[in-house]
Structure 1
């Protein structure tokens, strides 16, 4: 029996396809681990990098097609890290990579556990899905999304005072993509941003089960917009409010991090 998180009957009945994918993936993960260790030691063999990226990309696509989102996103995160490292735009975090390989293996084991009921499987699957939120850094990761460059830089300046990993983005849809695929712990966004406005972006984050735990804050003018889904915080574009917001993120995410460590 192969468990699958999808409600699609076609996928649920395609146990042979899922089993074939898991069998091949299980064999290839050992090779991937060895390659990752070599890369983590500073080796930049073009053949190893190419093989690693091809495997991650194809596995990401197949897992996504079969609705194994945990596996797909894990490979997506690994692929992004290798590409950034290859371009010398980011670091190669071996511990993070091996953690993602372990997450893939645990998802495979869970999905092949015939003793579990579907309800029990889905409950455990969501726990693994939450594991995707662990970032490459131990610091809580904040994403600032705003079309105003001045607000981006000012908010980043306030957040950088604390032990936070801060990213910036000026487009709403790109920002939403980062929230969905990266391990983002908190989002600060403006009310009016390119692509999708702030309230709609926050609603998309909060209504998605895989991102609903992300802490959100909306930066507004003095007139508060009508909100479909309430953010965790609302702040005005003032020095005082932005400073308070940065402190709130720091304290809130630090508490969340300690709670996770205590329960681990």
Structure 2
């Protein structure tokens, strides 16, 4: 059954919602949809009080180390941590309270070539049960390609069921941001959600474009309830007007009731 997964996106030490495709290493900063005056810990405590498990804290670039630690300390074991995760620091984040570490770019040598050897080392270090592989992607002519380096670099990995099958034994979950629609509140990538829903080999969370409860419901419909969903810029606690936080909390409670399918 499709569940809502909360998020705490961090940029320059603050909780923000940004247009994902505008993240750059150089030049002008990203387009910001929302910048919170509340601390990362305040969001983590809210998610904890409503038992919204499996959410993720994402460090978007440098300057977010302390903010991420603050969020994890507010709910030890309740949130996943992603952004700049490598073999060298993965254990540090688990020790700081993350339930899982989320890794993308480090698994790709030169940001482009997937490394089975790096993945094997990371699994040996932290265990597959503590690992979420982020296969966030951009649309290309023949489907989708995994994108690294804050979604700036297209890799050699196609996002499709064979790729998910290949990696499923080495992680506990997958996280998929549709980078082309991330932060735009223009609707989900329905074709991508449908493809992810056809794959039944493990837990998948989709993020990108959800603008209303209708989009949340559509993820459930298209995936047969097998793909979870994150809502960011459209959410009222992040300055949005399309979805209320209370609607999503209630959605999760209904989806957990016996006999309910979302």
The TM-score, its normalising length taken from structure 2, stands at 0.29
Higher CA-based Rg: 1
- Structure with the largest fraction of strand: 2
**Greater RCO (CA < 8 Å, at least 6 residues apart):** 2
